[in-house]
């Protein structure tokens, strides 16, 4: 770092390189920050328009994410209540069984090293208690039963997770976090939600699983026609925002899609999924059949391009649309979007739309078991992933009648109003044992197993941590945070410029760049800005001055020793470097530890502190030095404004 600042011809070239590098950094920063600025400038109604166009999610993914503490929302930590789960699984419950359960529960709360199941086994063995009497249909030995229960508790967490995932989108949260932590916990974060009662719904014990027959294709087509008619009558174009500019230039390609294509019967088969193009709506069709134009044909199903999901759901929720539909019909989406590859290689995501009977043929409470497995030898599904579904005798009777009367029709498996699968009924299913085929792979089969069990085997879940921030407090915090940053900046600017005059201006420039770079990095990393994160920005303001102060004080010292301006600047920068490195690295260590151990808001603080220090080197040293060298240029100054 002993850069020679001598007035040889070598210097301008080196400076030029610095200018290019700094220019690139500024360009990158501008690109990263632009979406955030654009987003902040949008009004609510403009956002709604973008949302219906399916463009909002794209923009939202590029802006600096705000933590729950800034935008309001809920953070929940859920824990599966294992004692209750085990109790629910037991059949015959005697006095001594309850005593055992109680003893295990007490010890579990007190002991750290052993988990619930270890203690259960110890206690059961110590009491010579035979668990098999209370958990029939399993192994005989206590340790085997306990290990089976342990597996089931893990499954229960999986079920709870699936149920929450399935329900969470009713909140309309753009990016909900649902995360499994450890063996029995789930973290749920819902931005912008502050209603604790709805959170209770989210984790309410039993999910509703239903088996519902699909309406015939003609009935579905008729319903779509009716919706088209309603929308056309009401001149819905004013209501549904469709960005016509987007499809105009693609019109020629889109003309290929006719109404028949869109809703053609199943004989066109798989090839029809190829019609998915980047085009979302056909303009001509849109005039004529506004609802149909939002849909696509996916083999025997009706597909909704993910971009149109919100618009379609909004239409289906309309009162006038609902009253135009037959009373014995309900319409549900599939639980997730699937990706289809078009002929041109591009992929597009689709939800499926199902037109179902209003009445469920059967509910999940009759399910006694579901097992994902590979089809056995000899059968026609040998080696294929299947799910074996078992029902109780009451359910089996109804199921047998239902399947017998509807052979070759389809039945949807619906969990909390989401269709997870809609297989074809091949024939009458007597005896309550059903085999579900046609699954992509064993993982999909496992998912189906979870769904099928979710209705009958609830996973008892407790909220063990909850943090709800009301939206008004969130916006208050943003206001206070921004105010603090601005006042802090103003104070530092005044102080530093008075103290260091022209050199102070250089320091301030690097300071502001530091803040911009940190914000750009947050946008780039999709990291979350929290209130402690803003505090970290303010702190960065204070500490970023430090690098400059260290350098300037050294320069002053060198000047006092009688060195020339150029030599003093050179000496100041090179001698301060090692100190700046040493001093900042310790704070960097503290920031890294916080990053590792902290949760949520604290991590937000650590991230800002960390990058603040990193850019302190870049901005406070490198850019500041470049600015100084530019200022000195080829001149020989007698005095320095410092």
Partner 1 sequence: MQFFENPNYNIVGKFKAAVSLSVTLVLIGIISVFFHKGLHYGIDFEGGTLIQMKFAQETSAGELRDLLTDESLGKPEIQSSGVNEFMIRVKNSGEGTEVTDLIQSQLSSKQYEVRRIEKVGPKIGQELRQSALLAIVGALFLILIYISVRFEFRFAVGAVIALFHDVIITLGIFSVFDFLITMPVIAAFLTIVGYSLNDTIVVYDRIRENRFSIRNKSIEEIINLSVNQSLSRTVITSVTTFLVVLVLVLFGGEVLFGFSIAMLIGVIVGTYSSAFVAAPFLVWWENRYGAKAVKK
What residues numbered 58-77 form the site for partner 1, per CB under 8 A?
69, 77
- Could you count the other beta carbons within 10 Å of the beta carbon of residue 340? 21
d(CA 569, CA 186): 56
Hey, is 195 helix, strand or coil?
coil
* Residue 469 binds partner 1, judged by CB under 8 A: yes
d(CA 148, CA 89): 11
Instruction: Kindly state the smallest distance separating residue 530's Cβ from partner 1, in Å.
Output: 10
Q: Which C-beta is closer to partner 1: that of 256 or that of 578?
A: 578
Q: Which C-beta is closer to partner 1: that of 238 or that of 498?
A: 498
- The stretch among 28-36, 308-316, 563-571, 598-606 that binds partner 1 (CB under 8 A) is 598-606
Among 374, 578, 633, 637, binds partner 1 (CB under 8 A): 578
- Could you count the other beta carbons within 10 Å of the beta carbon of residue 83? 16
Q: Which C-beta is closer to partner 1: that of 73 or that of 290?
A: 73
What are the φ/ψ torsions at residue 594 (nearest 5 degrees)?
Answer: -60, -40
- The stretch among 145-153, 267-275, 429-437, 583-591 that binds partner 1 (CB under 8 A) is 583-591
* Residue 94 binds partner 1, judged by CB under 8 A: no
Instruction: Kindly state the smallest distance separating residue 106's Cβ from partner 1, in Å.
Output: 14
Instruction: Kindly state the smallest distance separating residue 453's Cβ from partner 1, in Å.
Output: 24
Q: Which C-beta is closer to partner 1: that of 284 or that of 586?
A: 586
What are the φ/ψ torsions at residue 495 (nearest 5 degrees)?
Answer: -60, -50
Question: Which whole-number Å values give the CA distances from 305 to 74, 321, 333, in the listed order?
Answer: 30, 20, 12
* Residue 472 binds partner 1, judged by CB under 8 A: yes
Q: How many residues belong to the chain?
A: 642
- The stretch among 18-26, 386-394, 445-453, 478-486 that binds partner 1 (CB under 8 A) is 478-486
Hey, is 434 helix, strand or coil?
strand
Q: Which C-beta is closer to partner 1: that of 24 or that of 114?
A: 114
Per CB under 8 A, which of residues 531..570 are in contact with partner 1? 531-532, 535, 538-539, 541-543, 545-546, 549-550, 553, 556-557, 560
* Cβ-contact 514, 540 below 8 angstroms: yes
* Cβ-contact 337, 410 below 8 angstroms: no
Per CB under 8 A, which of residues 394..423 are in contact with partner 1? none
Instruction: Kindly state the smallest distance separating residue 585's Cβ from partner 1, in Å.
Output: 7
Instruction: Kindly state the smallest distance separating residue 540's Cβ from partner 1, in Å.
Output: 9
* Residue 327 binds partner 1, judged by CB under 8 A: no
Q: Which C-beta is closer to partner 1: that of 392 or that of 468?
A: 468
Candidates 93, 39, 94, 86; CA nearest to 62 is 39
d(CA 138, CA 131): 10
d(CA 365, CA 455): 6
Per CB under 8 A, which of residues 495..534 are in contact with partner 1? 495-496, 498-499, 501, 531-532
Among 31, 133, 466, 641, binds partner 1 (CB under 8 A): 466
Per CB under 8 A, which of residues 237..266 are in contact with partner 1? none
- Could you count the other beta carbons within 10 Å of the beta carbon of residue 61? 12
* Residue 583 binds partner 1, judged by CB under 8 A: yes
Which string of x and - marks every residue 172-211 that binds partner 1 (by CB under 8 A)? ----------------------x-xx-xx-----------
Instruction: Kindly state the smallest distance separating residue 181's Cβ from partner 1, in Å.
Output: 11
Candidates 91, 78, 82; CA nearest to 152 is 82
Instruction: Kindly state the smallest distance separating residue 488's Cβ from partner 1, in Å.
Output: 4
Among 141, 480, 526, 561, binds partner 1 (CB under 8 A): 480
* Residue 462 binds partner 1, judged by CB under 8 A: yes
Q: What is the gyration radius of the CA atoms in the chain, in angstroms?
A: 32
What are the φ/ψ torsions at residue 547 (nearest 5 degrees)?
Answer: -55, -45
* Cβ-contact 388, 435 below 8 angstroms: yes
Tokens of 308: 């149109």
Per CB under 8 A, which of residues 135..164 are in contact with partner 1? none
Tokens of 331: 């319409």
Instruction: Kindly state the smallest distance separating residue 175's Cβ from partner 1, in Å.
Output: 22
Which helix (H) or strand (E) segment holds residue 334: the answer is none
- Could you count the other beta carbons within 10 Å of the beta carbon of residue 71? 17
* Residue 120 binds partner 1, judged by CB under 8 A: no
Tokens of 224: 């779509």
DSSP state of 295: -
Instruction: Kindly state the smallest distance separating residue 624's Cβ from partner 1, in Å.
Output: 15
């Amino acid at each position: 770092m002993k850069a020679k600042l001598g007035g040889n011809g070598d210097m301008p070239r080196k400076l030029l390189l610095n200018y290019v590098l700094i220019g690139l950094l500024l360009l990158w920063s501008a690109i990263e920050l632009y979406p955030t600025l654009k987003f902040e400038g949008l009004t609510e109604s403009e956002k709604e328009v973008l949302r219906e166009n399916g463009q909002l999610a794209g923009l939202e993914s590029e802006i600096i994410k705000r933590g729950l503490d800034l935008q309001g929302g809920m953070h929940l930590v859920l824990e599966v209540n294992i004692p209750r789960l085990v109790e629910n699984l037991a059949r015959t419950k005697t006095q001594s069984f309850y005593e055992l359960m109680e003893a295990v529960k007490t010890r579990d709360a007190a002991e750290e090293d052993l988990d619930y199941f270890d203690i259960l086994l110890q206690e059961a063995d110590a009491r010579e208690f035979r668990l098999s009497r209370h958990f029939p249909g399993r192994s005989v030995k206590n340790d085997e039963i306990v290990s089976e229960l342990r597996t089931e508790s893990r499954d229960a967490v999986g079920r709870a997770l699936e149920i929450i995932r399935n329900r969470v989108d009713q909140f309309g949260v753009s990016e909900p976090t649902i995360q499994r932590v450890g063996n029995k916990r789930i973290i749920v974060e819902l931005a912008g939600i502050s209603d604790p009662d709805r959170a209770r719904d989210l984790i309410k014990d039993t999910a509703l699983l239903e088996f519902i027959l699909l309406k015939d294709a003609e009935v579905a087509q008729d319903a779509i026609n009716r919706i088209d008619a309603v929308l056309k009558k009401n001149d819905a174009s004013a209501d549904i925002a469709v960005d016509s500019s987007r499809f105009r230039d693609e019109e020629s390609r889109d003309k290929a899609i006719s109404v028949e294509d869109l809703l053609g019967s199943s004989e066109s088969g798989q090839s029809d999924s190829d019609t998915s193009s980047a085009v979302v709506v056909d303009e001509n069709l849109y005039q004529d059949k506004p609802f149909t134009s939002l849909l696509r044909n996916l083999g025997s199903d009706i597909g909704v391009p993910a971009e149109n999901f919100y618009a379609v759901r909004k239409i289906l929720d309309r009162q006038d649309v609902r009253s135009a539909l037959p009373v014995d019909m309900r319409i549900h989406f599939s639980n997730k979007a699937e990706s289809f590859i078009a002929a041109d290689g591009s992929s597009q995501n689709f939800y499926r739309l199902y037109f179902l009977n209003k009445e469920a043929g059967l509910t999940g409470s009759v399910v006694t078991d579901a097992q994902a497995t590979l089809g056995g030898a000899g059968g026609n599904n040998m080696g294929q992933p299947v799910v074996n579904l078992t029902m109780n005798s009451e359910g089996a009777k109804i199921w047998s009648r239902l399947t017998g009367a509807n052979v070759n029709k389809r039945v949807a498996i619906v969990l909390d109003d989401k269709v997870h699968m809609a297989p074809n009924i091949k024939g009458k299913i007597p005896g309550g044992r059903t085999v579900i085929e046609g699954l992509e792979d064993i993982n999909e089969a496992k998912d189906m197993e979870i769904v099928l069990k979710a209705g009958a085997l609830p996973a008892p879940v407790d909220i063990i941590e909850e943090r709800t921030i009301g939206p008004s407090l969130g916006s208050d915090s943003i206001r206070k945070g921004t105010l603090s940053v601005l006042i802090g900046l103003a104070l530092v600017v005044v102080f530093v410029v008075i103290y260091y005059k022209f050199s102070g201006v250089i320091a301030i420039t690097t300071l502001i760049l530091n803040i911009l770079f940190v914000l750009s990095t947050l946008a780039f990393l999709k990291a979350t800005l929290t209130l402690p994160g803003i505090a970290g920005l303010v702190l960065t303001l204070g500490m970023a001055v430090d690098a400059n102060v260290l350098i300037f004080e050294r320069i002053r010292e060198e000047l006092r020793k009688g060195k020339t301006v150029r030599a003093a600047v050179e000496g100041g920068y090179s001698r301060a470097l090692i100190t700046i490195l040493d001093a900042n690295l310790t704070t960097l260590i503290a920031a890294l530890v916080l990053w590792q151990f902290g949760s949520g808001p604290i991590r937000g603080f650590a991230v800002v502190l960390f990058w603040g220090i990193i850019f302190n080197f870049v901005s406070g040293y490198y850019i500041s030095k470049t600015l100084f060298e530019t200022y000195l240029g080829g001149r020989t100054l007698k005095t320095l404004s410092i």
